[in-house]
Structure 1
Amino acid sequence: MSEPLYTRDILRLATSIPHLGALDRADGHAELRSPTCGSRVAASVRMEDGRVAALGQSVEACAFGQASAALMGAHAVGRSRAEVAQALAELTDWLTGKRVDPGNWPGLAVLAPALPKIGRHGAILLPFRALLAAISAS
């Protein structure tokens, strides 16, 4: 019997995305769509001293994209642009087989069932790409 694609942990994360909704005042905003799967993530940030002080997000994605957004959102506040860029690079390298772990961003190893599902990688990367774009727009 094969392992299920969406584990209980992934489904739990997918239903617990933090920071949903728009910010009253944002310094930067980005809305991105994955060309491979059509997932859409919008992120808004308020920055203080070069770090994310507040996050708002909107997520329309598969359970992997939603779980990734939950993990991104749970640990985004307090992060710098460089930290988010590093997390995105590490996650990308893990998904493409260039590294054996997803890097230092907490919890991403739960997304391991998606490693052989290349079509899901865009949805997993999208929340981090949107966060980085929102920070860059601030």
Structure 2
Amino acid sequence: MSTPLYNAEILRLAATIPYHERLAAPMATAERRSPICGSRVTVDVALDAEGRVSAVGLLVRACALGQAASSLLAANILGRTPEELAAARDALTAWLARKGEPPAWPGLGVFEPALDYTARHPSIRLAFEAAADAADAARGPR
């Protein structure tokens, strides 16, 4: 593998997480934790009348990979539906397991060097799992 796992782009993303403060009054909150490394990501969301994410807040206590994934999630979450977030979570999970194509979510290709490091996959998935759960909960019963 020629690209280092912790490359300059991963480190840049990790240092520039948008919406890095919790929401004062979220419609729903979800937290995910990686049992392997202890990384933890909490995602607060609010949905608009059309069911799209209108506000997001994150609390990220994770390794550089978890921080970088949180940054990519936050930079592109506004306007997304719970279904789109679930699809992104599922595509990311499949791709990391080498059972699917690269996810359409902007920027996730930066994690290609991590494909062979399965112990790092849970940290990369944390923000997407928490966001999908929070958005689904904010939508309420269907």
What is residue 17 of structure 2 aligned with on the other side? 17
Q: TM-score, normalised by structure 1?
A: 0.94
Q: Distance in 2 between matches of 1:47 and 1:14?
A: 26
Unpaired stretches in structure 2, ≥5 consecutive residues: none
The Cα RMSD (Å) is 1.3
With 25-34 and 114-123 compared, the bigger mean Cα shift is at 25-34
What is residue 94 of structure 1 aligned with on the other side? 95
Q: Does 2:79 align with 1:78?
A: yes
Q: Distance in 2 between matches of 1:128 and 1:100?
A: 17
Q: TM-score, normalised by structure 2?
A: 0.92
Q: What's the CA shift string for 1:51-107, capped at 9, x where partnerless?
A: 100000011111111100000000001000100011011111110001242x11000
Q: Distance in 2 between matches of 1:36 and 1:81?
A: 27
SS in structure 1 of the partner of residue 45 of structure 2: strand
What is residue 54 of structure 2 aligned with on the other side? 53
Q: CA deviation at 1:137?
A: 2.1
Stretches of 4+ aligned residues off by more than 6 angstroms: none
Q: Does 2:132 align with 1:132?
A: yes
Q: What's the CA shift string for 1:104-127, capped at 9, x where partnerless?
A: 100000111111110110000000
What is residue 118 of structure 2 aligned with on the other side? 118
Code of the aligned partner of 1:24: A
Q: Distance in 1 between matches of 2:116 and 2:68?
A: 17
* 8 Å Cα contact 2:91/2:101 also seen in 1: no
Code of the aligned partner of 2:63: C
Q: CA deviation at 1:2?
A: 5.3
Percent identity over paired residues: 47
Q: CA deviation at 1:15?
A: 0.2
Q: CA deviation at 1:32?
A: 1.6
What is residue 65 of structure 2 aligned with on the other side? 64
Q: Distance in 2 between matches of 1:22 and 1:33?
A: 17
Code of the aligned partner of 1:37: C
